[in-house]
Amino acid sequence: MPIYRLHYFPESGNSYKLALMLTLCGQTFEPVWTDFGGGVTRTPQWRQTVNPMGEIPVLEEDGERLTQTAPILLKLAEQYGRFGGETAAEKFEVLRWLFWDNHKLTGYMATYRYHRTFTPAPDPHVLTYFRKRLDDFLAILEQHLQRNAFAIGDRPTVADFSMIAYLSFPVDETGYDFAVSHPAISAWLARVASLPGWRSPYDLLPGKRLTHYV
Ligand SMILES: N[C@@H](CCC(=O)N[C@@H](CS)C(=O)NCC(=O)O)C(=O)O
């Protein structure tokens, strides 16, 4: 069994992607709380010793530091033979949604939520811009999930874990009440949450939180 250490902060949906995947694969990890709000990931020392890209999460597997959630999720799927898709066509679809998630859904939702909720004086023009983009991406996802139980057909994959991550935080943080605005997304979140072993973000990622300004 590999030994995992996850460098994270509790509000990090990207960290949740890995914590959830490890948990659903029956693995445990040592949580390494990181002072993201205090700016530690911007320091030259942290970048030299933990991640030159300056990003959370970092997953240590038997001491080897891995970064970028999408390839890590795919590696874990391969390693544990779970959630990676079965056929070549399904694997292609997993990659397609992982890229879409990183570029569009997570990319915008993470930035929108952080600016909206965890900064003291968010710029309303920036919020309006991000919200408009997100509304479009969420409508695309809503339509897809009206026809599919999971991102790829009727079985959960790492594409689901990547895409649900930032949508799984409380309404007062995301600013979206999906049960009201996006019923198919809401039902999909509930389907993922009913997988055996599922745990919520703040349950898996404990510790001191960022200041919540709204
Ligand atoms: N594509 C990266 C995104 C990681 C990321 O953006 N992490 C955030 C925290 S959740 C971060 O460290 N941001 C620092 C920054 O953008 O300067 C991944 O999937 O791991």
CATH number of the domain at 188, please: 1.20.1050.10
Instruction: Compute the average pLDDT of residues 8-37.
Output: 98
For residue 110, the ligand 1 atom closest to its alpha carbon is 10
Q: Are 46 and 142 in contact (CB under 8 A)?
A: no
Instruction: Compute the average pLDDT of residues 36-64.
Output: 98
User: Do residues 92 and 73 both lie within one domain?
Assistant: no
User: Do residues 116 and 175 both lie within one domain?
Assistant: yes
Q: Is 102 a pocket residue for ligand 1 (Cβ < 6 Å)? A: yes
Domain for residue 212, yes or no?
Answer: no
Q: So what's the pLDDT on residue 112? A: 98
Q: So what's the pLDDT on residue 214? A: 93
Q: Is 69 a pocket residue for ligand 1 (Cβ < 6 Å)? A: yes
Domain for residue 211, yes or no?
Answer: no
User: Do residues 113 and 23 both lie within one domain?
Assistant: no
CATH at 72: 3.40.30.10
User: Do residues 60 and 102 both lie within one domain?
Assistant: no
| Confidence bin at 49 (pLDDT 50/70/90) | very high
Give the pairing type, strands 4-8 and 30-33.
parallel
Q: Are 195 and 156 in contact (CB under 8 A)?
A: yes
pLDDT tens, 129-170?
Answer: 999 999 999 999 999 999 999 999 899 999 999 999 999 999
Domain for residue 34, yes or no?
Answer: yes
User: Do residues 93 and 183 both lie within one domain?
Assistant: yes
Which residue's C-alpha comes closest to atom 16 of ligand 1? Answer: 55
Q: So what's the pLDDT on residue 82? A: 98
User: Do residues 116 and 58 both lie within one domain?
Assistant: no
Instruction: Compute the average pLDDT of residues 47-53.
Output: 98
Q: So what's the pLDDT on residue 166? A: 98
Q: Are 58 and 7 in contact (CB under 8 A)?
A: yes
Distance CA 185, CA 3 (A): 34
Instruction: Give how many domains the chain has, as a whole number.
Output: 2
Q: Is 119 a pocket residue for ligand 1 (Cβ < 6 Å)? A: no
Distance CA 60, CA 3 (A): 8
Region class of 198: left (phi > 0), else alpha (psi between -120 and 50), else beta: beta
Specify which residues 93 forms β-bridges with. Answer: none
Q: What is the DSSP letter of 209?
A: P
User: Do residues 109 and 54 both lie within one domain?
Assistant: no
Domain for residue 132, yes or no?
Answer: yes
Distance CA 133, CA 108 (A): 8
User: Do residues 107 and 20 both lie within one domain?
Assistant: no
For residue 56, the ligand 1 atom closest to its alpha carbon is 12
Averaged pLDDT of the chain: 98
Domain for residue 186, yes or no?
Answer: yes
Amino acid at 32: V
Residue with tokens 């991406």: 137
pLDDT tens, 174-190?
Answer: 999 999 999 999 999 99
User: Do residues 131 and 38 both lie within one domain?
Assistant: no
Half-sphere exposure of 7 (CA within 13 A, CB side): 24
Q: Is 106 a pocket residue for ligand 1 (Cβ < 6 Å)? A: no
Structural domain boundaries enclosing 48:
4-82+198-204
Q: So what's the pLDDT on residue 182? A: 98
- Whether the per-residue pLDDT at 1 is higher than 90: the answer is no
By C-alpha distance, which of 204, 197, 165, 168 is closest to 30? 204
Give the pairing type, strands 64-67 and 30-33.
unpaired
Length of the chain: 214
User: Do residues 153 and 180 both lie within one domain?
Assistant: yes
pTM for this entry: 0.99
Q: Are 124 and 190 in contact (CB under 8 A)?
A: no
Distance CA 106, CA 108 (A): 6
